[in-house]
Amino acid sequence: MSGYTKQITSLITEVRNKKPLIHNITNYVTVNDCANIILAIGASPIMADDINEAGDITSISSALVINIGTLNKRTVESMILSGKKANEKGIPVIFDPVGAGASKLRNEVTKTILDEVKINVLRGNLSEIAYIAGLNATTKGVDASEADIESNDSTAVAKKAAVKLGCIVALTGAVDVISDGKNLVTISNGHKMLSDVTGTGCMTTALVGSFCGAERDYFKAAVAGVAVMGIAGELAYEAAGHKGTGSYHIAIIDSISKMDENIFGEKARINEN
């Protein structure tokens, strides 16, 4: 295990010891999964999207996760209010631009959030990150398109987006890429069956938020959150992949609830570039 991986490994214990409160303004398709995944890693979730309390909840939280999977005007206002409150309080903001590039509304909301809120970590797939970076990008709903996967270099896309936004970018795919524009890490964990369960991207973002809530080095926190999800995908397949996607779904949460430094240290395939 490299020294860097060992540092990441210790963050699992850090999250379980600190139990940070993670405020999620997320989509209604995956909200329950995100709450359970946060609990499984040892943090504490709260989902408060009403504008009358969103700012107050953010102010007592350790991290804010914004996810635009199911958009409506009411929650967009809460996202921006909460994001500004987080910036004011020095609370990390993790943004998941689900489906950016797919519709005029998503594109406008993504731009507004990025213009008005300082983002610490941007977590998305190749198509979403390429769109935000200003590159040619197509979209397949909320998934990365095959055309983008074939035509774009994920490391270059992650670096460009990180430089453009001045934040950490966690680009997830067959090989995950984490970059701050200068430093770059790739993660080779995961299983293709993860793409058969809705919300695994949202859950990954929630995990990144959990680690950011316990660790001020958000680059390491992003690596930890993405790697934990990848390892859980592998372990879940070993335990329940043969049963089908429903059992696999639950096995992901089980695997994260059992995640510790030994498992992470043994299974993590993190490469520093």
pLDDT over 70 at 204, yes or no? yes
The owner of tokens 């769109």 is: 131
Phi and psi torsions of 253, nearest 5°: -65, -40
The angle formed by the CA atoms of residues 37, 181 and 173, to the nearest 5 degrees, is 40
pLDDT over 80 at 150, yes or no? no
Give the span between the Cα atoms of 124 and 55, in whole angstroms: 24
Give the span between the Cα atoms of 235 and 241, in whole angstroms: 9
pLDDT over 50 at 200, yes or no? yes
**In total, how many domains does the chain have?**
1
Assign 4 a pLDDT band (cuts: 50, 70, 90).
confident
Confirm whether residue 69 is marked as ligand binding: no
Confirm whether residue 199 is marked as ligand binding: yes
Per DSSP bridges, beta strands 44-46 and 63-67 are unpaired
Buried b (16+ CB within 10 A) or exposed e, 163-184: eebebbbbbbbebbbbbbbeeb
**pLDDT tens digits for 71-108?**
998 999 999 999 999 999 999 999 999 999 889 999 99
**pLDDT tens digits for 213-246?**
999 999 999 999 999 999 999 999 999 999 999 9
Per DSSP bridges, beta strands 93-96 and 63-67 are parallel
Whether the Cβ atoms of residue 95 and residue 102 lie closer than 8 Å to each other: no
Give the span between the Cα atoms of 273 and 271, in whole angstroms: 6
The owner of tokens 């631009």 is: 97
Q: Report the pLDDT value the prediction gives residue 146, as an integer from 0 to 100.
A: 53
Bridge partners of residue 168, in order along the sequence: 121
Give the span between the Cα atoms of 201 and 226, in whole angstroms: 9
Domain that holds residue 172: 3-272
Assign 142 a pLDDT band (cuts: 50, 70, 90).
very low
Tokens of 36: 């359970």
Bridge partners of residue 143, in order along the sequence: 140
Confirm whether residue 203 is marked as ligand binding: no
* pLDDT more than 70, % of the chain: 93
Bridge partners of residue 271, in order along the sequence: 186
Phi and psi torsions of 170, nearest 5°: -115, 100
**Mean pLDDT (whole number) for 191-195:** 95
Give the span between the Cα atoms of 79 and 54, in whole angstroms: 8
Taking the CA atoms of residue 105, residue 93, residue 227 and residue 179 in that order, the dihedral angle to the nearest 10 degrees is 80
CATH number (domain holding residue 181): 3.40.1190.20
Confirm whether residue 47 is marked as ligand binding: yes
> In which element (H, E) is residue 80 found?
helix 73-89
